[in-house]
Amino acid sequence: MPSTEFIDAVGLNVTDHVASNEFLALAREGAITKDHLKRFALAEFQSQEAEFTAYGLLLSRFPHEVPGGFFSFVAHELMQARHRMVSGLAPALGMSPDEMRSAPIAVPVRQFTEFISWVALHAGPAEAALLARTDFALWCRTCAEIADVFREVDGVPPEALGYTDAYRDNPPEVADGVLEVIDYGLAQGERDAWVTRSAVRMEPALREWWHAVATGTASSQT
């Protein structure tokens, strides 16, 4: 199967994903409070903790320049976001990194981190790269929509706008670079049936993540 067909096989509907986002809906209603923003910042911070480890492990498992370059780029993007978090958004909300590291973790956020950690340990390079591409496609489009709304409503700290707006563009290194990693993984004997195995789970995992941020609770499906 050509590498582009694996992307199609994920069946990703970014428009529907964004339309269902409860946090975005609250923002459009002008109903985002400081508590919503703090839940967002904390969930993002806690997810990053797992993602740093996951992509570092993937880089160590697959040090070849094709997958290694891809996973190192993703790790760099995540670290840039962490710097924006600890120097901008978290202080604006009265949150300290040390307190965030020891804070309780919501069930959907914990499940997301466990999912990412499983991929780091068990997925092949093509499977992990397609997961990352799916994550970025959903996350960047969502953050772009949220930033557009934040720009128009009152009471949103500029740091919240800046944080989400920085995620506006899905990097071509991820969106397009995944194709080379898929080709590499298949050439190394990675099973076709496993390439999409984790990517198809990303949309529901992120949907639950955003539900917890918006409501402070897990959905009945969790």
Average pLDDT, the chain: 96
pLDDT at 221: 63
Domain count, the chain: 1
pLDDT at 2: 82
- Indicate which CATH number applies to the domain containing 97: 1.20.910.10
| Band of residue 211 on the pLDDT scale cut at 50, 70, 90 | very high
> What is the mean predicted confidence (pLDDT) over 164-190?
97
Q: Which domain holds residue 139?
A: 3-215
Please give the Cα distance from 22 to 31 (Å, whole number). Answer: 11
Residue with tokens 């068990």: 122
Instruction: Please write the tens of the pLDDT for every residue from 131-162.
Output: 999 999 999 999 999 999 999 999 999 999 99
Please give the Cα distance from 215 to 79 (Å, whole number). Answer: 27
For residue 144, is it within any domain?
A: yes
Please state the pTM of the whole predicted model.
0.96
